[in-house]
Amino acid sequence: MTEHTELDSFVRAFREAAPYIHYLRDKTIVLAISSHVIAAETFQALAQDISLLGSLGIKVVVVHGVRKYINDLMQESHATLPSYQGRRITNEKTLVKVKQACGEVRFDLEAALSVGLSNSPQYGTRNRLVSGNFISAKPLGVIDGVDMGYTGTIRRIDFTLIKQLLQHNCMVLVSPIGHSLSGKTFSLSMDEVAAEVAIGLRAEKLVFINEEAGIIDADGALVRNLSANEAAAFFEAVPQQKAIKRLLPSTLRALQQGVKRVQYIGAHTEGSLFSELFTKNGSGTSFAQHAFVHIRQAISDDIPDIMRMIQPLEDQGVLVHRSHDYLENHIDEFSILEHDEQVYGCVALKRFQGSNMGELACLVVSPDAQEGGYGELLLEHVQKQARSAKLKTLFCLSTHTGEWFSERGFQDATLAQIPLERQRQYHQDGRGSHVYLLPL
């Protein structure tokens, strides 16, 4: 019994992950890892998961932070670390510590990411991890009369070189440090570097891996999804979580410049990276430029997804059979609900010549996404479509789901109330469905 349950949950998890793995293959993700995370004991497990991403065909760039290492070095020498407007002021002495800290983090990371995939048949396979002088920098200069010294900003990033390395299946490691053409070294902010690297590589995802598990709302609950506008408003309203708030400008810039998703995850929960990348709900907070769930017109490419959702229901007699050819010929009637670029639902609106009635048909939400309000969203969408087509009534035919429609305002009706053309089809299919009407 237990074995079965374990097997079932493995199969379910694997099926959930498979489309995400397929989707991310050959795509680039940038992981921006806080230095506190790298210094923690739990990092070894995370490093193993990062290594595995490469073996799934995902191109990985790691940008590391350095703050904790610098703070520790400064504390050891009882030195203070002045800052202005949230940026460290880097004088000559601090710069030495910055270089020292960067070297130390880099070696720690290289060691952790060089460990072979110990639980896999590829045991002993070493990741090819490459770091280098990818970034040219310039000084931040004097701000409001404050000389920021060797604190710098990005001038140029050698994306050609990074892309070549990724193409050769190397994992690329980028440090928050850059050099000017005159040979000076500048300390950079990790989040700025990570965002610019993600933008320049047109990365699919930028994942900030922090100590905190993501954004927490006023009630202490994890916020799973935020659009860019919601994120800006949220941080106004909930001023706590200063460490994470620091990431907001880079997050919004990355989204505006075309990075599809920015994600914040906590490193200390085992498997949080996989959960964020390969499950629908993820483990942290995910940001997108626009809303996460959207409904759009279906296209022929959606037919495999539609068939995947409707076939089990056809077998159970919940839905009438629709062939691939039927779907190909009627695809314009269908709408698709996507969450984070994965298809989770569909619905069709059928029109009848000379009638001001429309039929809502083939309403389906994937079993793993039911009871989250998607059915209701699809219904609202069809109502909107019907109204803008000047239809006066929506009807549907159902064998098993009548109650769901009744609870949403549909009324029991008779066959005589629907268009003649549909009455004829009804007699042909012999399913004996109940008829429901919704005045618009």
Three-class SS of residue 281?
coil
The verdict on 371 binding ligand ACO (CB under 6 A) reads yes
- The alpha carbons of the chain give a radius of gyration, in whole angstroms, of 27
Measured in whole angstroms, the distance separating CA 20 from the mean position of its chain's CA atoms is 10
Give percent helix, percent strand, percent coil of the chain, each to the nearest 5.
Answer: 40, 25, 30
Q: What minimum distance in Å lies between the beta carbon of 31 and ligand ACO?
A: 33
The yes or no reply on residue 375 touching ligand ACO (CB under 6 A) is yes
Report the candidate in 214, 177, 205, 217 with the shortest Cα–Cα distance to residue 94: 177
In a 13 Å sphere around the CA of 133, the CA atoms on its Cβ side amount to: 10
Q: In what order do the strands lie in the sheet with 285-288?
A: 129-131, 171-174, 59-64, 28-33, 205-210, 261-266, 285-288, 225-227
Decide: is 429 part of the binding site for ligand ACO (CB under 6 A): no
Site residues for ligand ACO, window 291-320 (CB under 6 A)? 313, 318-319
The answer to whether residue 153 forms part of the interface with ligand ACO (CB under 6 A) is: no
Out of 370, 387, 412, 421, point to the residue binding ligand ACO (CB under 6 A). Answer: 370
**Closer of 254 and 362 to ligand ACO (Cβ):** 362
Can you tell me the distance from the alpha carbon of 129 to that of 402, in angstroms, rounded to the nearest whole number? 58
- Output 165 or 397, the one with its CB closest to ligand ACO: 397
Residue 423 burial (CB count, 10 A):
14
For ligand ACO, the binding residue among 270, 328, 368, 403 (CB under 6 A) is 403
CB 179 within 8 A of CB 136: yes
> Any idea what DSSP says for residue 118?
T
In degrees and rounded to multiples of 5, residue 103 shows phi and psi of -60, -45
Q: Does the protein bind ligand ACO through residue 376 (CB under 6 A)?
A: yes
Half-sphere exposure of 333 (CA within 13 A, CB side): 17
Tell me, by CB under 6 A, how many residues bind ligand ACO.
23
- C-beta of 402: minimal distance to ligand ACO in Å? 7
Q: Does 401 bind ligand ACO (CB under 6 A)?
A: yes
Closer residue to ligand ACO (CB): 328 or 380: 380
Q: Are 74 and 301 in contact (CB under 8 A)?
A: no
Residue with nearest beta carbon to ligand ACO: 375
Binding mask 347-366 toward ligand ACO (x if CB under 6 A, else -) reads -------------xxxxxx-
CB nearer to ligand ACO: pick between 258 and 409: 409
Query: Per rule CB under 6 A, is residue 418 in the interface with ligand ACO?
Result: no
Stretch in the footprint of ligand ACO (CB under 6 A) among 106-114, 142-150, 278-286, 392-400: 392-400
Binding site for ligand ACO (CB under 6 A): 313, 318-319, 360-365, 370-376, 396-398, 400-401, 403-404
